[in-house]
C-alpha cells in the first residue's frame, strides 16, 4: 500500500476511521517522514494544530516495517497512542505489526516491595492500609501490573512508593520475585514487538544505562520518533546530568532499616545509622525554611548553616555506607542498599568538589525536600553521539519547534545541525476562528500591581465569554493572587461562574471538572500550558499574563546565558527568546483545537507590542486577527467577524520591520 492510497478520500484510513478527511499537510508530512525512514535520515518536523501529525508519522512507520520506537512527552499521550491511535492505524492498514507499551519501573507493581510492605504493616492512615490491600488484589490478577489500570488507588497516593521499585532499590536478578516481575515482562514484550511506545524519560534513562554498560531497556530499532519533541532539551539535561535528592536518601535510610530487621536483626547499629541519615536529611531541608530556593553552588559559599548541615549529612551517609558494607553478605537487600549508599556518597562528593565549564552545580528545595543537581550546559554533543551510534531514522516532531519558521535554535540546542527540516501550517482558519488581543495601558510586567491589572483587564472578557476560560500564569504566586482577586471581584460584576484553581485536585481531575462545569474558569500555571485538549464551546478564552521568559535567577539558565555570551553570541536572541516563543506557542495552542472552535487569546504583556522583539514573538503564533481594541473582542463574541476590518492598525501591532534589541532589553 502506498501513502497516497492510505490517505486518499476513499482510502484505507477513510474507510476504517470515522470522521477521517484527507488533508494536504498530513500527506506531505507522511511523505517526508517516509523519506527520512527509507534514507535513515534525521528529520525535524513542525506540524501545526489540526495537521494530524500522529497519523502522519504512524502510517509511514508501519508501512516501512522494521522496529520502531515512538517516544512521547506525557503518559497521557503514551496511553492514547497505545490504546487508540496505533490500533486504529494498524487495523486500517491491515499490517500485522505487534505493539508494546513500556513505562518506567515506578509505574509497575513490584512483588518484592509490595510483600515487604504488607509484612511491615506500619501505615499512619487506615486509608493507606486499605489501598495497599487493593494493590495486593490487583497484583494477583493483573496481566501488566501497570498502576494506571488500578483506578481505585489514586496515581499520587503515597502507598505506591511502598508497592513499586526504583532503579536504586530494585534487586535485579537477585530478587526472589524475579521470574514474575512485571517490569521484566513488559521489557520482554517490548523486545519482541515491532512498535514500542515509551516516554522521553524512559528513553533517556535507557540511553544513560546503555552508556554506562548496565544494560539496554529498549530494543534496537530502525526508526525512533519523538512526539512532543520540544520537551527533549529539558529531559535530556536531566538524564545527562547527575542528581542526589532527599527522597533517595530517605528511601535508602528506610530500606536499610527494613532490610536490617529481616537480614541482620542482631546488628543494632544499622537501624540507628539509618535513623541518623533520615534525621540529617530532614535537618538540611529545614535550613531553608518554607520558601523554595534554586541556587547555584557558589551562592551557598557563605551559608554556614547549610555547610554544617551538609557535613552532618555526608558523615551520616558515610557511616551508613560503612556499616552496610560490613553486613552486605547477609542478604540481597542489604547488598543492594550498600551499592546504593556507595553511589549516593560518590555523587555527593562529586557535587561538593567538582565543577567544570561544561556543567553547573546547583541546589534546589521544594515543599517536600531538596535536590543536588549537576546539569550539563551543552547537550548537543551528547545527543549527537547517540545519533551517530547506529544507522537509523530519527524523527523529531511537535506543534512547537520553530521560531517564525526557523529551526536553528532547536537544531543547535539538540545537535541536529545536519537534520532535514520541514514545517506545515495548521489547516485551521485562524483569521475567522480566533482573535489575539493585547490590552492597552497595562503596567510593566515587573511592577507591583501587575497581576491586579491583568485581572481587571480580564474581567470584561470573562463577561463576554461567559466563563469558558483558561487563565494561565507564569508563576504560582501570580496564579494564587489572581485567583483570590477573581474570587473577590467576580460577584461584584454578577459573574457567578465556577472558579477552579490548579492544585485543588490532580490535573486530570481538574480538567474533568472544567469540561463538566458550564461556564467554568480555570486559573493555572504552566502545568496547563501543554498537553491539554478542550474542544468546542467549553473553552472560548485563553488569557496569558506574561511572556514566558525563564526566571533570570534560574541557575542553569544563568550559567548557559553566561557561556553563550562569553562565546560572542547574544544569549537573549539565540536562547532565551526562542525558548519563550516555543513555550508561548504551547500556551496559545490550547485555544483552537478543532476546525469549529472559536475564541480569544489575550496576552496581557505589553512587551509584545512595545519591545522591538515583540514582532518576532507574535509572528510565530498562529495567524489570528490581532487587535488592541476591546470593541473588536466584543464584536467577535457577538458573532462572526468581518475579517477585512478587524486588524489593528500598524502602530499597535506593527507590520514594519523590527530590529532586535541587545541583551537586557527584555525585562
Read off the pLDDT band of 454 (50, 70, 90). very high
Alpha-carbon distance of 37 to 536, in angstroms, equals: 36
Please state the CATH superfamily assignment of the domain spanning residues 3-98+193-239+379-424 in this structure.
P-loop containing nucleotide triphosphate hydrolases (3.40.50.300)
pLDDT-derived band at 509, boundaries 50, 70, 90: confident
Task: Tell me the CATH class for 430-638.
Answer: alpha beta
Q: Do domains 242-375 and 430-638 have the same CATH topology?
A: no
What end-to-end distance do the CA atoms of the chain give, in Å? 54
Environment class of residue 419 by beta-carbon count within 10 Å: exposed (0-12), middle (13-18) or buried (19+)?
A: buried
pTM beyond 0.95: no
H-helix segments, 152-228: 160-163, 182-192, 200-212
Q: Where are the domains of the chain?
A: 3-98+193-239+379-424, 105-183, 242-375, 430-638
Contacts of residue 635, Cβ cutoff 8 Å, sequence gap at least 6: 641, 646
Could you report the per-residue pLDDT of 165-202, keeping only the tens digit for each? Answer: 887 788 888 888 888 999 989 888 888 899 999 999 88
- Residue 388 burial by CB count (10 A; 0-12/13-18/19+): exposed, middle or buried? exposed
Q: Mean per-residue pLDDT for 506-513?
A: 87
Rounded-to-integer distance, Cα 307 and Cα 305, Å: 6
* pLDDT at residue number 654: 44
DSSP per-residue codes, 436-455: EE--SS---TTSTTHHHHHH
Q: For residue 71, what are the β-bridge partners?
A: 198, 226
The tens digit of pLDDT for each residue in 14-55 reads: 999 988 989 999 999 999 999 999 999 999 999 999 999 999
- Give domain 242-375's CATH architecture: Up-down Bundle (1.20)
Q: How many CB atoms sit inside 10 A of residue 179's CB?
A: 9
Which residue in 459, 390, 394, 443 sits closest to 421, CA to CA?
Answer: 394
pLDDT at 653: 54
Neighbours of 245 (CB within 10 A): 18
* pLDDT digit string, tens, across residues 582-637: 999 999 999 999 889 999 999 999 999 999 999 999 999 999 999 999 999 999 99
For residues 598 and 643, is the Cβ–Cβ distance under 8 A? Answer: no
- Burial track 196-226 (b if 16+ CB lie within 10 A, e otherwise): bbbbbbbbbbbbbbeeeeeeebbbebbbbbb
In tens, the pLDDT along 379-389 reads: 998 888 888 87
Amino acid at each position: 500500500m502506498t501513502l497516497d492510497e492510505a490517505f486518499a478520500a476513499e482510502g484505507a484510513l477513510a474507510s476504517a476511521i470515522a470522521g477521517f478527511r484527507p488533508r494536504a499537510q498530513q500527506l506531505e508530512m507522511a511523505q517526508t517522514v517516509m523519506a527520512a525512514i527509507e534514507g535513515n535520515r534525521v528529520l525535524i518536523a513542525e506540524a501545526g494544530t489540526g495537521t494530524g501529525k500522529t497519523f502522519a508519522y504512524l502510517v509511514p512507520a508501519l508501512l516501512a516495517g522494521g522496529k520502531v520506537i515512538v517516544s512521547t512527552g506525557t503518559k497521557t499521550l503514551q496511553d492514547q497512542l497505545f490504546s487508540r491511535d496505533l490500533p486504529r492505524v494498524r487495523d486500517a492498514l491491515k499490517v500485522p505489526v505487534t505493539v508494546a507499551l513500556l513505562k518506567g519501573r515506578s509505574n509497575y507493581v513490584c512483588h518484592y516491595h509490595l510483600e515487604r510492605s504488607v509484612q511491615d504493616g506500619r501505615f499512619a492512615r487506615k486509608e493507606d492500609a486499605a489501598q495497599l490491600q487493593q494493590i495486593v488484589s490487583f497484583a494477583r490478577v493483573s496481566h501488566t501490573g501497570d498502576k494506571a489500570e488500578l483506578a481505585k488507588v489514586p496515581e499520587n497516593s503515597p502507598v505506591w512508593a511502598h508497592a513499586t521499585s526504583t532503579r536504586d532499590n530494585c534487586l535485579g536478578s537477585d530478587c526472589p520475585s524475579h521470574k514474575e516481575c512485571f517490569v521484566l515482562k513488559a521489557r520482554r514484550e517490548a523486545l519482541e514487538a515491532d512498535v514500542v511506545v515509551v516516554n522521553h524519560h524512559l528513553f533517556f534513562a535507557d540511553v544513560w544505562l546503555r552508556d554506562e554498560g548496565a544494560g539496554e531497556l529498549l530494543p534496537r530499532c530502525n526508526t525512533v520518533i519523538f512526539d512532543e519533541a520540544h520537551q527533549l532539551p529539558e529531559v535530556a539535561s536531566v538524564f545527562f546530568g547527575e542528581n542526589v535528592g532527599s527522597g533517595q536518601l530517605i528511601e535508602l535510610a528506610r530500606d536499610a532499616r527494613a532490610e536490617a530487621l529481616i537480614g541482620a536483626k542482631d546488628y543494632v547499629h544499622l537501624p540507628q545509622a539509618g535513623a541518623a541519615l533520615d534525621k540529617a536529611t530532614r535537618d538540611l531541608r529545614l535550613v531553608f525554611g518554607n520558601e523554595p530556593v534554586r541556587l547555584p553552588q557558589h551562592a551557598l559559599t557563605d551559608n554556614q548553616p547549610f555547610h554544617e548541615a551538609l557535613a552532618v549529612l555526608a558523615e551520616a551517609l558515610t557511616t551508613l555506607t560503612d556499616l552496610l558494607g560490613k553486613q552486605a553478605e547477609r542478604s540481597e537487600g542489604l547488598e543492594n542498599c550498600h551499592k546504593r549508599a556507595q553511589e549516593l556518597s560518590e555523587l555527593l562528593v562529586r557535587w561538593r568538589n567538582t565543577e567544570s565549564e561544561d556543567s553547573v552545580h546547583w541546589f534546589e528545595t521544594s515543599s517536600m525536600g531538596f535536590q543536588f543537581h549537576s546539569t550539563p550546559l551543552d547537550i548537543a554533543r551528547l545527543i549527537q553521539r547517540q545519533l551517530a551510534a547506529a544507522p537509523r531514522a530519527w524523527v523529531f516532531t511537535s506543534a512547537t519547534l520553530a521560531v517564525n519558521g526557523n529551526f536553528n535554535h532547536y537544531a543547535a540546542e539538540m545537535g541536529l545541525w545536519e537534520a532535514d527540516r520541514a514545517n506545515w501550517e495548521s489547516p485551521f482558519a485562524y483569521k475567522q476562528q480566533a482573535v489575539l488581543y493585547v490590552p492597552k495601558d497595562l503596567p510593566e510586567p515587573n511592577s507591583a500591581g501587575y497581576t491586579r491589572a491583568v485581572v481587571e483587564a480580564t474581567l470584561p472578557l470573562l463577561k463576554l465569554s461567559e466563563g469558558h476560560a483558561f487563565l494561565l500564569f507564569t508563576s504560582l504566586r501570580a496564579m494564587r493572587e489572581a485567583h483570590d482577586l477573581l474570587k473577590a471581584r467576580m460577584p461584584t460584576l454578577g459573574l457567578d461562574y465556577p472558579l477552579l484553581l490548579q492544585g485543588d485536585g490532580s490535573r486530570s481531575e481538574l480538567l474533568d471538572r472544567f469540561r463538566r462545569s458550564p461556564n467554568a474558569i480555570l486559573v493555572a500555571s504552566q502545568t496547563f500550558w501543554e498537553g491539554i485538549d478542550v474542544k468546542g464551546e467549553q473553552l472560548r478564552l485563553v488569557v496569558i499574563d506574561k511572556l514566558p521568559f525563564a526566571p533570570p535567577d534560574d541557575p542553569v539558565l544563568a550559567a548557559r546565558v553566561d557561556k553563550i555570551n562569553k562565546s560572542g553570541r547574544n544569549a537573549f536572541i539565540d536562547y532565551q527568546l526562542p525558548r519563550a516563543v516555543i513555550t508561548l506557542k504551547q500556551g496559545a495552542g490550547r485555544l483552537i483545537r478543532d476546525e469549529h472552535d472559536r475564541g480569544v487569546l489575550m496576552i496581557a504583556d505589553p512587551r509584545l507590542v512595545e519591545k522591538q522583539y515583540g514582532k518576532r514573538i507574535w509572528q510565530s503564533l498562529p495567524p489570528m486577527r490581532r487587535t488592541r481594541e476591546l470593541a473588536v473582542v466584543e464584536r467577535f463574541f457577538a458573532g462572526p467577524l468581518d475579517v477585512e476590518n478587524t486588524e489593528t492598525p500598524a502602530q499597535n501591532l506593527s507590520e514594519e520591520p523590527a530590529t532586535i534589541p541587545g541583551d537586557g532589553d527584555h525585562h
